[in-house]
Structure 1
């Protein structure tokens, strides 16, 4: 048995895979989404908007619900499985990137754009927006790691 230590290299590895998979899930959702998927996406996005930005745990949960609804709309079980496992690796980094100044509102707006692209069946746009969204998350995660004294 080996205990993994937290490191910026691990963050880069996790996000390298996550960025590609999240973008692929968003593109797949744009191609294969159902009307029910759009209803679910609207519902979880509305719930995210209603979440208090003073509660980091609730923010992280609302954000995760949006991402999981996008994954589900991709109708690709392999991607859902891989992204779920990657998210489990991120639990070793408990501080949410959504607490960074301005990030909560920015993430809400980015999700709205991704959902709009999915609704419009624009796979290329959904892919690019999701990739950009997750790249920002990676940069914030690295910044949080660097700013945390006991990381």
Structure 2
């Protein structure tokens, strides 16, 4: 049963994150059970876990998909900015040669990306940040950042196609790798925080411009 529950949880979570469900859509146990070919018990347990992750919200005696909002963007970035700074600072202190190699490879992949497609840019950007998180050698920070990123990818349009954001990101990533290589912990922390503040500001501008289609870094 644990395996079935985990599978149903992963399927519902995937469909929420990929926006197969609309914001505010009611999640009815029996309907979900039929959709995923299971009983109501694993669906109920999956919804309980998703509520703990704040991907769904209580509505009466049931659940609905949690709605996105500019307030949520600010909340997420307030925490993520601090954690990205902590990860960069730790990476500058603890990084290994292998960590540096991974960071350089991830950055080079971004430089070589021959497309302006937002999804491709977002994926390459995610891989760079994950390499940075791993270089911190702090499992708690990595876990928290992965959870926060789940909330951000609910916003479907990439910030990396907005104006000159891609060029800014590439330049800041390059400098961040340099600072980590030089073991400049405070410099890396400051730049990582500035980097995320820039992403937050672009995301809010995109949200304001397209109120029915919020924004993804």
TM range (shorter): over 0.9
Q: For 1:31-110, what aligned pairs fall within 5 Å after superposition?
A: 31-110=93-172
| CA deviation vs aligned residue, 1:87-140 (integer Å, no higher than 9, x gap) | 000121111111111111110000011111000000000000000000000000
Of structures 1 and 2, the one with the larger relative CO (CA 8 A, separation 6+) is 1
Q: How far is the alpha carbon of 1:3 from its aligned partner?
A: 2.8
Deviations 1:35-79 (Å, cap 9, x if unpaired)?
Answer: 100011111100010113421111001111110000000000101
Structure 1, unpaired ranges of 5+ = none
What residue in structure 2 maps to residue 25 of structure 1?
87
In structure 2, the partner of 1:15 is 77
Q: Is the 8 A contact 1:38 1:119 kept in 2?
A: yes
Judging changes above 3 Å, is the alpha-carbon distance between structure 1 residues 107 and 53 closer, same or farther for their aligned structure 2 residues? farther
SS at match of 1:150: coil
Aligned residues: 151
Q: Which runs of 4+ in 1 moved over 2 A?
A: none
What are structure 2's unaligned runs of at least 5 residues?
A: 1-62
Q: 1:126 aligns with which of 183, 188, 192?
A: 188
Q: Report the structure number with the largest CA radius of gyration.
A: 2
Q: Is the 8 A contact 1:97 1:137 kept in 2?
A: yes
Aligned 8 A contact 1:53 1:104 in 2: no
2:174 to 107, 112, 128: 112
> Residues of 2 paired with 1:2 and 1:33: CA distance?
42
Cα distance in 2 between the residues matched to 1:53 and 1:123: 33
Higher helix share: 1
Using the size of structure 1 for normalisation, the TM-score is: 0.97
